[in-house]
Structure 1
Amino acid sequence: MKIVLRSNASKVTAGLDKAARKQIPFASALALTMVAKDAQQKVRQSLPSTFTIRNGWVAKGIQVKAANKRQFPMQAEVGTKDDFMARQSEGGDKTGRNGGSVAVPVGARAQQSDITRKSKWPGALLRRKKTFIIKPHAGRSKGQRLVYKREPQGLKLLYILQRKVNVKPVWRFKEQVERVAQRVYDKRFGEALAKALKTER
């Protein structure tokens, strides 16, 4: 993802002397890194408005790579290290590992917000006598399998197993980062420049 920033930084630096101008690359890199951290904080805070968050790992996966004053074009990065979160932003097909199936939970959790522990995964459940797989008729989704459990009140559907699942983009990651960057860059550049000038040698 690339975001183009429009800034008045050139006007701010126009009156600087030659020695001070040498600090501009440092100030620019610092400002970009500060903006990326602002965006990181905003994205992390907004996660519960889009997703059911069961632990802190997703937020921790949203990370920042600082800008380097010697790099051209100069850039800072904010993104996620988790592939499944990238799909939530960009969309795409999710396939099973090593050619296996994707397990879509239906009745495996008491509540949607519950963590699906390993003891509740299809492989663990299918080792129990009351849990089994049904393959639907050919007229239904090809390659789909259903994991059921026998209960006193009847059969309960726990999982749908299928070769791939199409994930629709629901996470407005790019828009959130872009709004933060456009809003705070000039302020952050001013702060970074002031710091750079204080440390000028």
Structure 2
Amino acid sequence: MPSPINISIHADFDRATRGLSDLARKQVPFATALALTSLAKIVRDDEVDNIARTFASPTPFTLNSVGVTAARKTRPQATVFVKDIAAAYLEPYEFGGLHHLNGRALLNPKGTPLNKYGNLPRNALAKLKSEPDVFVGSVTFKKSGETVSGVWRRPPAGPQVVTGRRGSRGKTNNVVGGARTGLKLLIRFGDALPVREHLDYRERARRIIEQNFNREFSLALNKALATARK
């Protein structure tokens, strides 16, 4: 999605401008810019709706990331674009592939409340890391050989009596990596997974332009002619 969509509509303009008066032909560049910008805005609005329907709870940042660069008489080209940050993580939903991970992925949160978009609240990770019994890192479990990376909470310092067992040991009521451990996994860092949803942005844009071109150019030309007669 970072790259703009390229659709040629020269043939459509050639057909639409046949038989026009001299006055109308003079206004074609202005009408062209109006029509292209209007079409781009329709594509943008459809893409925002498409994102809202495709994802369960898209953030306002994602929904507001789709923008339009207007066409001009001297530059008959309108562009629908996605801002860089959002484009990076939305790209797999257009072309396929793995989820985009910005650094370490925060997956499978445990013991930490999420916001209404299913994400960690802002500064939640920094707040956890500031707690003295919390650390970020990887732990390898000898029994299973599995290495688990994430945010961990250490058991309380000093001996802890474990119910049903003799002696004094650290608590072992958490199971991580196939082994019982006194550590509590708060947030697990995981690998990127293949995306399942697809936006089909380019194909949708082509259909919208084909369906709306004649109407938008006609409206733009009428507006351009009305402006010229004043």
Give TM-score, length-normalised by structure 1.
0.75
Tell me, yes or no, if the aligned pair for 1:28 and 1:189 is still in contact at 8 Å: yes
Shift of 1:64: 0.5
Shift of 1:14: 1.3
Matches within 5 A, 1:1-201: 1-5=5-9, 8-71=12-75, 74-81=76-83, 82=86, 83-90=88-95, 94=100, 96=102, 101-108=103-110, 110=113, 113-121=117-125, 123-132=126-135, 133-136=137-140, 145-149=149-153, 154=174, 155-160=184-189, 165=192, 168=195, 170-201=198-229
SS in 1 for 2:109: coil
| Equivalent residue letter for 1:184 | N
> How far apart are the structure 2 equivalents of 1:188 and 1:125?
53
> How far apart are the structure 1 equivalents of 2:216 and 2:222?
10
Tell me, yes or no, if the aligned pair for 2:150 and 2:185 is still in contact at 8 Å: no
| Equivalent residue letter for 1:147 | V
- 1:128-164 per-residue CA deviation (whole Å, 9 max, x = no partner) reads 2443333447x768xx7233346996233512166xx
> How far apart are the structure 1 equivalents of 2:194 and 2:95?
9
Q: Which has the larger radius of gyration?
A: 2
Tell me, yes or no, if the aligned pair for 1:9 and 1:186 is still in contact at 8 Å: no
Residue correspondences, number: 190
**Distance verdict in 2 for CA 1:91–1:102, change over 3 Å:** farther
Structure 1's consecutive aligned runs of 4 or more residues displaced over 6 angstroms after TM superposition are none
SS in 2 for 1:199: helix
Determine what percentage of the aligned residue pairs are the same residue. Answer: 25
SS in 2 for 1:118: coil
> How far apart are the structure 2 equivalents of 1:156 and 1:145?
9
Question: Where do 5+ consecutive residues of structure 2 fail to align?
Answer: 156-170, 175-183
Shift of 1:29: 1.1
SS in 1 for 2:8: coil
Shifted more, 86-95 versus 51-60: the winner is 86-95
Tell me, yes or no, if the aligned pair for 2:109 and 2:188 is still in contact at 8 Å: yes
**Distance verdict in 2 for CA 1:106–1:166, change over 3 Å:** closer
> How far apart are the structure 2 equivalents of 1:173 and 1:13?
29
- Choose between structure 1 and 2 for higher RCO, CA contacts under 8 A separated by at least 6 residues: 1
Tell me, yes or no, if the aligned pair for 2:37 and 2:70 is still in contact at 8 Å: yes
> How far apart are the structure 2 equivalents of 1:167 and 1:65?
32
SS in 2 for 1:44: helix
| Equivalent residue letter for 2:134 | T
**Distance verdict in 2 for CA 1:21–1:54, change over 3 Å:** closer
**Distance verdict in 2 for CA 1:107–1:166, change over 3 Å:** closer
